[in-house]
Amino acid sequence: MVAARQTKIDSGLSHSPTIRLLAGLVITLSAVAVYAGYTIVQLRGLEDLQARTIDRNRSDSLLLLRIQNNLNSIALALRDMLDDTEPYGLAAWRAPFQRIQNDLDDALRQEERYSPFDRPPEQRRFLGEAVMQFWDSLDRVFALAAGGHEGDARVQVRLSLEARQQAMATAVARLLVENNEIEQAAVLQTQQIYERAKRDVYLFLTAMLVLIALTSLYLVQYNRRMFQQVSELSERRHELAQQLIGTQENAFRSISRELHDDFGQILTALGVMLQRPQSREDLRELQQIVQDALEKVRSLSHALHPMILDELGLERAVQQYLPGFQKQTGIEVRYEKSGEARELGGGVATHMYRVLQEALNNVAKHAKSAKATVRLQYAADAAILEVEDEGVGFSARNGKGMGFVSMRERAEMMGGRIEFHERPGGGVLVRLTVPSEKVHA
């Protein structure tokens, strides 16, 4: 199992800020939507307050004033009824009171429709019942007057009708005062809504400015990091070019030394032996020298480019390389292969083979491990190469050497991904993943 602490080396620049910018855009649009919804709710509340309270209250107050005028007309009519200087009897006042009653009843019906919703039911019923009782009492007064009891009728006017009229006028005045208080409270509530709306606008604008400032700072920081990474990448390319030139010169020097020393001595020995008489023993010695020279040539050819890669593919090249590596270094290498083998195109086989070589060379030079495992997996969506050892771990190695740089560069050239994982018990797992579209390219 790969371990607890993981060191992953990515090739190329850091991830694009598109996701973060889209997230910021989503947050901004969400904030705008929430603020717009809240503002709409506030406006609807204001409209409802205007329609349900202020306008309704004003209409009700106008109707109460109309009722109050009718009650004042009743008071004047009652006063005139008690005036002894009038030449008419009480029955003559029935027609004026009928006109007042009609108008008053109409005003009461409309006032009932426009009365405030929070007015108590008993208060709603009081005025109507008081008016009905007044008209009943007035009918009894007119009945007494029609029966010839003018004096008793006038007494009823003084004792009952005037008191009932004053009670109704007081009730209407109280309702007008309550409506005025309700309207003042509604005006105060309207001002509070406007104040909240103004405050919310300022808060929203401040939040938008802060968000824009943060987004701008993020873009500035991202661009600064990007330019810094480009600069570091340029330096890394420069160092890589220098290392490649040095490695190339070292390879040429090694091949030159091999050709000069080994092959020069072999050819000199062959020339000397060919000049003297040949015995059976000399021929066997000559045959051994020729065989050694052939092995040297094959070794050099394999180091430069294993032809088996072109002829039989990566899997056979790995199977041929591992025994030689094991024999040369003494490191026991276990090879595991899974999945159905397939042809690797576009130089992928060469790059994967070189990564295998570099990883095993790091094991031999730095890991101090007696064992290593090589895994080649053909998955449905990728080809995966793993080299795992049981050595000193990643922290004891140099992660900026030529081998690591070369492996990263080759992974980038294939469009793949290379990872370095430190195992919990020691050792390192190198994993190269090449996507299937690159494998079949």
DSSP H helices, 50-117, are 56-81, 94-114
Residues of the chain with pLDDT under 70: 1-17, 45-52, 84-87, 238, 240-267, 269-278, 282, 297-306, 346, 394-402, 438-441
pLDDT at 88: 72
Structure tokens at 301: 């050819």
The per-residue pLDDT for range 166-190, each reduced to its tens digit, is 998 998 999 889 888 887 887 787 7
Structure tokens at 260: 């000069």
pLDDT at 405: 77
Cα Dmax for the chain: 181
The per-residue pLDDT for range 101-139, each reduced to its tens digit, is 999 999 988 988 888 777 787 877 888 888 999 999 989
pTM above 0.75, yes or no: no
Cα(76)–Cα(280) distance, integer angstroms? 162
pLDDT at 305: 64
Q: What is the homologous superfamily of the domain 307-439 according to CATH?
A: Histidine kinase-like ATPase, C-terminal domain (3.30.565.10)
Cα(25)–Cα(211) distance, integer angstroms? 10
